[in-house]
Amino acid sequence: MAVGVGDPAPDFTLPSSGGGEVSLSSYRGRPVVLAFYPADDSPVCTTQLRSYDDDLAEFEGLDAAVLGISPQSVESHDRFAERHGLRFPLLADADKAVGEAYGVLGPVGFYRRSVFVVDGEGVIRYAHRAIAGLRYRPASELVAAVKQAKG
């Protein structure tokens, strides 16, 4: 059964672009936007993550973190982030265990474009899993979800 709104967000620790590792639990006390995306440098993923980066100040103004998660390697993430000027961490879920925990894997094991907002207590307050990956949730919708998660 996939996690949803009101469920505790599964914790994880993953290698991150820029070096090091990132744990969801290290953000306790602040909201976190988890943006699961299928692949670095694909057209829709690039547009999606650049739009979130363009509105990063709005997320930061709410003390919210944005994390991108996909199965590609840290090296791929580093190239992707540098090429497009992405300023938030991109996490490498190479074995897709985190994707599985959040229920974002499609029938053939590819990530479905999905977004979750986790509140400061570690509870999922917003969840969207796309059936087809051609569209993404706009940053304005996620900013509103973060505001709601903060109460």
d(CA 109, CA 9): 21
114-118 and 124-129 beta bridge pairing: antiparallel
Choosing from 24, 32, 35, 45, which is the catalytic residue? 45
Q: Is 45 tagged catalytic? A: yes
User: Exposure of 54 by Cβ count < 10 A (0-12 exposed, 13-18 middle, 19+ buried)?
Assistant: exposed
- Please give the positions annotated as active site: 45
